[in-house]
Structure 1
């Protein structure tokens, strides 16, 4: 790798990191001011029968007695020092509350992502390689139903079947690995269906290429064709949709956690929004934005190595 290639790669990474920081600042600013437009937390948190003096005193305790711009400045200063604020309702640091709930959401999101990839990529490959035959006729309706049904409806049906009717799986709360099954399947259903359709389309496009016909003429079996020839060429569109589905998993986890009373960040977010607990809502949104931005940043870098035409980073890696 020569110096020019290294400089180009560093420039590409620097540009993407800069864009990521700008996006994170934009999300942070937007959620800060949007929450201030939702109402006065002091009015909601004040006990019944509180006087205006009591409310004013509470507003001062919460740091809401100064201008919005002063609040924003203090918020950014705290953020730069790793301070995400102090919960108005629970009287704990927002970061501590997130740390307590995060393992549950991580378990749910990773399980759903695993199911989405396994079923989505697997079903998409099977449908494409068996176009017009019975495997596609069986799987395609399942995929279409998965895309059409919203998460709350899928979750309710799963609870009715596996918890209410057959009593084989718990419906709410966290009581071990079995309680993870229904929420994970619910959260994964839409993403898996989307990935399956994208995978099917990408594979069908590649199957019409000359290199595939050549490989088949040389006697390449299905497994060799997929691993040696198709995998790399269909990976870019699949990675694209996977990066987008991360956002859907983050958003969908809120609904899923409410349905199954899952003690994760989604449930914490809804409770905090209802209570106008600004610091906690801000902290959760910032965390979600950071995860999404990092996933997209990593995806862009992986693109560059898979397909060197995408950026100078890939060319530098291949030098």
Structure 2
């Protein structure tokens, strides 16, 4: 019975995931379509004289941009279902290949940013609960809302100014060292760490008033053991939920971060592709990002019962 319920749950979640990915693909296609200009204009840039309009028309016909929009959409969607997004309009090679050349650098940046966000958020919440000084606790509690309100690009600009220009620890443009990666990751980790700390601090306070915590204290456990070994696990469920969303935010946050730090990755690739109306590359990037988002959330939902045995997956 449990297996059937789990199977129905998984199938339902997969159906939701398919709708989300389709919606992201469709939204990206039509948003890019309604933006003024197209790839033909970029390919004919620099041409002059009376032949410009003829050259533009020839490029549009060659690229298939003169066909009805629904025909273009249908071809793009059917190809995407088969994993074929077509060739990059500028690089003249498969868009999937172009995307996955840039993908590892972004994945590295995003997941290091996520690791730093978890580390900062959990550490701050634990310190808040272990602090006896009221003034210090109130100061620490005020930090997460400030962190959440800071845009990643603003943090990135401040870090570039401080670490690169003032301290000279990294190159301001295109630094490829681990320290450069760490600083760039920190710029997208600040807001995520603030979100985690807000959720965890609120739930830790509730968990520390639970009867099982009183039992743990009666065993003579230290305050640190009570908070870290007992209360932290039960207070972490909202954080696990937030991780699914934060991964999507982290991947999205790399767009401006890679631009500010002049790092390679899908962020800069997408910016360049949108500017050049390179539809195939943009659609690959959006579809893969949506797939990552729904996959992570699906895994998070399955991990829930392992963290808290009281939770059951409903059929």
Following TM superposition, by how much is the alpha carbon of 1:40 offset from its aligned partner in structure 2, in angstroms?
A: 3.7
1:132-187: per-residue Cα shift (whole Å, max 9, x none)? 54653553354344223222221122122211112112222142212212211111
Corresponding residue for 2:149? 148
CA pair 131-267 structure 1, distance change in 2 beyond 3 A: farther
Q: Give the total of aligned pairs.
A: 311
Is the aligned partner of 1:13 residue 2:16?
no
Corresponding residue for 1:234? 235
Secondary structure of the residue aligned to 2:236 is helix
Following TM superposition, by how much is the alpha carbon of 1:90 offset from its aligned partner in structure 2, in angstroms?
A: 2.2
| CA-atom RMSD in angstroms | 2.0
Following TM superposition, by how much is the alpha carbon of 1:223 offset from its aligned partner in structure 2, in angstroms?
A: 4.0
Check conservation: 2:126, 2:228, Cα contact below 8 A: no
Superposed, which structure 2 residues align to 1:64-75 within 5 Å?
Answer: 64-75=65-76
After the TM superposition, which of the residue ranges 9-18 and 89-98 deviates more from structure 2? 89-98
Is the aligned partner of 1:56 residue 2:53?
no
Superposed, which structure 2 residues align to 1:70-89 within 5 Å?
Answer: 70-89=71-90
Corresponding residue for 1:282? 283
After the TM superposition, which of the residue ranges 42-51 and 279-288 deviates more from structure 2? 42-51
Alpha-carbon separation, structure 2, partners of 1:244 and 1:190: 13
Corresponding residue for 1:136? 137
Following TM superposition, by how much is the alpha carbon of 1:80 offset from its aligned partner in structure 2, in angstroms?
A: 2.1
Alpha-carbon separation, structure 2, partners of 1:211 and 1:169: 49
Match among 32, 52, 55 for residue 35 of structure 1: 32
Alpha-carbon separation, structure 2, partners of 1:312 and 1:147: 32
Match among 18, 22, 30 for residue 19 of structure 2: 22
Is the aligned partner of 1:189 residue 2:171?
no
CA pair 194-237 structure 1, distance change in 2 beyond 3 A: same
1:158-217: per-residue Cα shift (whole Å, max 9, x none)? 122211112112222142212212211111111111111211111011111222122212
Superposed, which structure 2 residues align to 1:289-300 within 5 Å?
Answer: 289-300=290-301
Structure 2 spans left out of the alignment, 5+ residues = none
Is the aligned partner of 1:219 residue 2:220?
yes
Superposed, which structure 2 residues align to 1:245-264 within 5 Å?
Answer: 245-264=246-265
Alpha-carbon separation, structure 2, partners of 1:214 and 1:92: 64
CA pair 171-136 structure 1, distance change in 2 beyond 3 A: farther
CA pair 189-312 structure 1, distance change in 2 beyond 3 A: closer
Check conservation: 1:12, 1:311, Cα contact below 8 A: no
Secondary structure of the residue aligned to 2:93 is coil
Alpha-carbon separation, structure 2, partners of 1:91 and 1:173: 26
Check conservation: 1:35, 1:278, Cα contact below 8 A: yes
Alpha-carbon separation, structure 2, partners of 1:151 and 1:163: 17
Superposed, which structure 2 residues align to 1:159-174 within 5 Å?
Answer: 159-174=160-175
Output the TM-score relative to the length of structure 1: 0.90
Is the aligned partner of 1:91 residue 2:92?
yes
Output the TM-score relative to the length of structure 2: 0.91
Following TM superposition, by how much is the alpha carbon of 1:117 offset from its aligned partner in structure 2, in angstroms?
A: 0.7
